[in-house]
Structure 1
Amino acid sequence: MAVSSLSLSLVPRTFKDKLNEPRWSESPRASELPLHHAIACSCDRTTGFDEESDCKRRPLLLGVVGSLTASLLPASSLLAQEMPANYRAFVDLSDGYSYYYPSDWREFDFRGHDSAFKDRYLQLQNVRVRFIPTDKKDIHDMGPMDEVVSNLVKNIYATPNQIANIFDTQERTVDGRDYYTFEYELRSPNFASCSFATIAVANGRFYTLTVAANERRWRRVRNKLKVVADSFKVLDI
């Protein structure tokens, strides 16, 4: 599949559908585990974030991770790590991916995406994940990193009235999976945003995680959002 022909709008089901699925209010038995959940870690209660109501919806806390590791083998490498302070983990075992997001962000339904979280006050500060089918087996099958990133940013992410600038590209391998992570800016006459994106190929899918902020705040939040981009992992399904 040529990168320039990718249409990143196909998703099997909406995040809203996911949020309507059952949640657990206590430690579930292994056979009853839902296929996706968020894991709380070091929440900052001074933010005013309604942690109690959120944990009713996504109650799998770090305290029960040890007893669940055997039943969460696809996600075990994520759960075994020490989560950064003031982040949570979103793990979707049914669609095969996981990532960290700031603990004071809230989930929302971002059109065309499988999952998404945003800052409760600054909606342009958000993370979202989408995927499309592909016959490729690895991100290297898409082409050289610089060409893949350039085609995505300039031909797919940018609209006709935006100027795209790519600042940095990185490649990493985790548990035998290859990832490209890149930083870019989209600038229009009246507005500019900056983003990190991490892309990977697995499970017959081309996955994209994007975490973004207003260009004026980028320098202040860049390191915080880089943690999100670097945490993205694909899982076997």
Structure 2
Amino acid sequence: MAVSSLSLSLASITLSNRVPHSTSTPRPIAFCSQNIITCSRETSYDEERNCKRRALLLGLGALTWGLTPPGSLLAEEIPKGYEAFVDLSDGYTYYYPSDWREFDFRGHDSAFKDRYLQLQNVRVKFLPTDKTDIHDLGPMEEVVPNLVKRVLSTPTQIANIFNMQERTTDGKNYCTFEYTLTSPNFSRAAFATIAIGNGRYYTLIVGANERRWRRVRNKLKVVADSFRVLDI
């Protein structure tokens, strides 16, 4: 992947506040836009969970606190209209539209959605695996259909798969594919990107209502192509 000049700003990079920190350096205060967010022992379970999952919006100066992601990540310019979510604890990163908001998606590690169209969203989950590469799962022509039909869809949905692409970034292999799920009353289109690293099988899905797909397809493809596994 081509590397361009460093471009970071206060609203352009989001780091998960589960990042390990050194006991010899101060831990940064978590903040999001105008609101300072802190956690205390009196916080309820749900509040504490949300607090821990809340993203840190950091400028370049905060990186001097020992939270520096891999050099290749910082050397890449973030596209206009997007922000970068970086989870150094769980080992992955991706871009999402800057006007989207973080939310809890059951069974997923992170998720962002359009503030008005909730079905227009991105989410990431991972499962433990003893595989070291997606090709260890088998040929992608077999792996992807099995994933879509057995995991990503329900028995009442008709699945169609399009435009399967593979890429290699920083020595790791990724497969991104487009698919639709059609049921009697609803249709959804999405991109999914799969990768393996850190003993985990990662899946990113970004999609929308199929009626809006032509308008947002290229925008969401940027999200799917940006997914990257970080060594932890």
Query: By the TM > 0.5 criterion, same fold?
Result: yes
The answer as to whether partners of 1:30 and 1:71 remain within 8 angstroms in 2 is no
Q: Does 1:230 align with 2:225?
A: yes
Q: Paired residue for 1:59?
A: 57
Describe how 1:1-237 pairs up with structure 2 within 5 A: 31-32=25-26, 51-53=33-35, 58-61=56-59, 63-64=60-61, 68=64, 71-74=67-70, 76-237=71-232
Hey, which of these two has a bigger chunk of strand by percent? 2
Query: Where in structure 1 do 4 or more consecutive aligned residues deviate above 6 Å?
Result: none
Offset at residue 54 of structure 1 (A): 8.9
> Cα–Cα, structure 1 residues 159 and 59, in superposed 2: closer, same or farther, change >3 Å?
same
Report which structure shows greater RCO (CA 8 Å, sep ≥6). 1
In structure 2, how many angstroms separate the alpha carbons of the residues matched to 1:71 and 1:109?
24
In structure 1, how many angstroms separate the alpha carbons of the residues matched to 2:82 and 2:125?
21
Amino acid in structure 1 at the alignment position of 2:209: N
In structure 2, how many angstroms separate the alpha carbons of the residues matched to 1:149 and 1:124?
22
In structure 1, how many angstroms separate the alpha carbons of the residues matched to 2:97 and 2:72?
20
Q: Any gaps of 5 or more consecutive residues in structure 2?
A: 1-14, 38-53
| TM-score of the two chains, using structure 1 as the length reference | 0.76
> Cα–Cα, structure 1 residues 54 and 33, in superposed 2: closer, same or farther, change >3 Å?
closer
> Cα–Cα, structure 1 residues 234 and 190, in superposed 2: closer, same or farther, change >3 Å?
same
Q: Percent identity?
A: 65
In structure 1, how many angstroms separate the alpha carbons of the residues matched to 2:210 and 2:128?
31
How many residues matched? Answer: 198
Offset at residue 52 of structure 1 (A): 3.3
In structure 2, how many angstroms separate the alpha carbons of the residues matched to 1:177 and 1:54?
37
Q: Deviations over 1:146-201 (max 9, x none)?
A: 11101001111110000000011000000000000000000000000000000000
Give the match's secondary structure for 1:218: helix
The answer as to whether partners of 2:134 and 2:196 remain within 8 angstroms in 1 is yes
Give the match's secondary structure for 1:229: helix
In structure 2, how many angstroms separate the alpha carbons of the residues matched to 1:69 and 1:174?
27
The answer as to whether partners of 1:91 and 1:98 remain within 8 angstroms in 2 is yes
Q: Any gaps of 5 or more consecutive residues in structure 1?
A: 1-17, 24-28, 39-49
Q: Deviations over 1:39-87 (max 9, x none)?
A: xxxxxxxxxxx943499962312x437x54975243x222211100010
Hey, which of these two has a bigger chunk of helix by percent? 1
Amino acid in structure 1 at the alignment position of 2:141: D
User: What CA RMSD, in Å, does the superposition of the two structures yield over aligned residues?
Assistant: 2.8
> Cα–Cα, structure 1 residues 32 and 231, in superposed 2: closer, same or farther, change >3 Å?
farther
Q: Deviations over 1:181-225 (max 9, x none)?
A: 000000000000000000000010000000010000000000000
> Cα–Cα, structure 1 residues 129 and 94, in superposed 2: closer, same or farther, change >3 Å?
same
